[in-house]
């Protein structure tokens, strides 16, 4: 198995002319790039507008964190910068860049400007002009070096990234603004376990259908174990070929494998199986308790709802009974009054008949 290696030579930045006001920095630089920054650059390249410009590349600013000594930076986000470029000149919207940088730093006060990116690996005089703009004391990363990230965005080809810092070199101050020495520095794509799973899902949709199903946790664990098993088989085959003198060994790779194996715990297979079974039992117990609590909560809610519904029905029945009783009492009182009136009328008539009549005499 051939292993590709990249060798870097860290060069000290030469002292610039005194008229520029720059200070020299001899610290090596390592660039860590977050996946969301790469996706933002790719989205900018896909959505570029080429109607008013002859340039096939886009540019933007890099924003992220910088270590205290300035030897390591982490690119966390980017934002696009409008520009026009032709064979004779390049124009960058400086006001837009300043406003976007202010808004970005207001949203993330701990981050800072790191440099700029472009979607072309070509380094020319325009690249030097933009690099000096981002490295200047007024609008750039001074006193730290500005990072220049180049990324390829051609469809159907692997994504290739390179990072540079620069040192101004010129015979006079007039040529210093459009001249600089680009020095390539090491970089790596930095992501955690969750981002690794997301990137795996995205890469699985790289086929003709441009779609991939979302796997469950068990399926993801199965795929991870299969990947680890394949890697172990490849390493075992490589070591066997080296021991059988079928291929030349690599001292750096051998040292790396030795360091990796030294980190593995010295545990027997029986102990690993026992711990795994105990872990499974714990997971099942937690799942059982969670389901029991969920069932009890659901049952309590249903009982409370049933009591409320039953209480409303009983109250309605009692109210109806009360209304019917009131109506009956009202009817009884009315009848009694009517009867009393009739009796009074009759009694009055009889008394008037019994009154003595006066004699005509």
Token pair in block for residue 47: 């959505």
Contact between residue 85 and residue 126 where contact means Cβ atoms under 8 Å apart: yes
Has residue 42 got a pLDDT over 80? yes
pLDDT number for residue 150: 92
Looking up tokens 């720059």 gives 22
pLDDT number for residue 21: 41
225-253: per-residue pLDDT in tens? Answer: 898 899 889 998 988 888 888 888 888 88
Calculate what percentage of the chain has a pLDDT beyond 70. 72
The Cα 156–Cα 83 span in angstroms is 26
Contact between residue 134 and residue 156 where contact means Cβ atoms under 8 Å apart: no
- In this predicted structure, which of 74-88, 115-129, 310-324, 330-344 has the lowest mean pLDDT? 330-344
The Cα 159–Cα 36 span in angstroms is 14
pLDDT number for residue 179: 72
The Cα 258–Cα 269 span in angstroms is 21
Average pLDDT over residues 24-46: 79
- Strands 59-66, 181-185: parallel, antiparallel or unpaired by DSSP? unpaired
For 108, other C-beta atoms within 10 Å of its C-beta total: 13
Q: 64: which strand partners?
A: 75, 112
> Confidence class of residue 193 from pLDDT cuts 50, 70 and 90?
confident
pLDDT number for residue 14: 43
pLDDT number for residue 7: 53
Average pLDDT over residues 182-205: 79
Q: Put residue 70 in one of left, alpha, beta given phi > 0 → left and psi -120 to 50 → alpha.
A: left
Tell whether the torsion through CA atoms of 314, 319, 320 and 326 is positive or negative: positive
- In this predicted structure, which of 26-30, 53-57, 196-200, 241-245 has the lowest mean pLDDT? 26-30
Calculate what percentage of the chain has a pLDDT beyond 90. 10
Average pLDDT over residues 151-169: 83
Average pLDDT over residues 20-30: 52
- Strands 112-118, 147-151: parallel, antiparallel or unpaired by DSSP? parallel
Angle of helix 193-204 relative to helix 35-46, nearest 10 degrees, comes to 30
Q: Based on the number of CB atoms within 10 Å of its own CB, is 74 exposed (0-12), middle (13-18) or buried (19 or more)?
A: middle
């Amino acid at each position: 198995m051939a292993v590709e290696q990249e060798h870097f030579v860290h060069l000290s930045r030469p002292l610039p002319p005194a008229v520029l006001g720059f200070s020299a920095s001899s610290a090596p630089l390592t660039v860590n790039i977050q996946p969301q920054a790469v996706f933002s650059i790719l989205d900018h390249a896909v959505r570029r507008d080429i109607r008013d410009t002859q340039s096939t590349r886009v540019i933007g600013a890099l924003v992220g964190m910088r270590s205290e000594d300035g030897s390591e930076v982490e690119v966390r986000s980017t934002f696009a910068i409008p520009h026009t470029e032709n064979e004779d000149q390049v124009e960058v919207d400086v006001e837009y860049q300043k406003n976007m940088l202010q808004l970005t730093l207001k949203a993330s006060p701990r981050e800072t400007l790191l440099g700029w990116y472009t979607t072309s690996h070509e380094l020319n005089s325009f690249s030097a002009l933009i690099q000096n703009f981002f490295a200047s004391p007024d609008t750039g990363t001074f006193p730290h070096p500005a990072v220049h990230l180049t990324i390829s965005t051609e469809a159907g080809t692997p994504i290739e990234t390179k990072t540079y810092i620069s040192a101004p070199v010129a015979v006079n101050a007039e040529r210093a603004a459009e001249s600089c020495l680009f020095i390539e520095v090491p970089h790596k794509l930095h992501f955690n376990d969750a981002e690794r799973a997301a990137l795996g899902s995205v890469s699985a949709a790289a086929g003709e259908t441009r779609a991939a199903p979302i796997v469950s946790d068990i399926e993801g664990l199965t795929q991870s174990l299969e990947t680890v098993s394949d890697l172990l088989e490849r390493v075992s085959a490589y070591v066997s070929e080296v021991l059988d003198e079928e291929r030349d060994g690599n001292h750096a790779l051998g040292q790396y494998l030795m360091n990796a194996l030294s980190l593995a715990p010295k545990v027997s297979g029986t102990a690993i199986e026992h711990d795994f079974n105990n872990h499974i039992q714990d997971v099942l117990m937690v799942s059982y308790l969670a389901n029991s609590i969920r069932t009890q909560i659901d049952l309590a809610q249903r009982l409370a709802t049933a009591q409320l519904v039953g209480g409303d029905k009983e109250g309605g029945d009692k109210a109806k009974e009360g209304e019917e009783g009131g109506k009956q009492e009202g009817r009884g009182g009315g009848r009694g009054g009517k009867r009393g009136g009739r009796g009074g009328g009759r009694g009055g008539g009889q008394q008037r008949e019994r009154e003595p009549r006066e004699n005509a005499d």
